[in-house]
Amino acid sequence: MKIVDGDKVECDRCESVLPIGDVSLLEKETNRDYERVLCEGCLGAVGVPKGYTLRRDISHLAG
């Protein structure tokens, strides 16, 4: 996850830079080290694959 200017993040799929409140985080349940930040459009395209969980609120990561 790339945090930009403390309150924006880069989508791991399309590389758009968005406010942290406008993205979601996919995490692999068996390994919390694997995380992907996705914008709403990319999340719609990818969905939530089996074995992953979705976090919609990641605002606590803003610096």
Q: Is the pLDDT of residue 47 over 70?
A: yes
pLDDT value for 41: 96
Tokens 């919609």 -> residue: 56
Tokens 């080290």 -> residue: 33
Q: Where are the alpha helices (DSSP H) in the chain?
A: 40-46
Q: Which helix (H) or strand (E) holds 57?
A: none
* Residue 25 to residue 60: CA distance in whole angstroms: 12
Least Cα distance to 24 among 8, 34, 36 occurs for 36
pLDDT value for 63: 61
**What is the maximum alpha-carbon separation in the chain?**
33
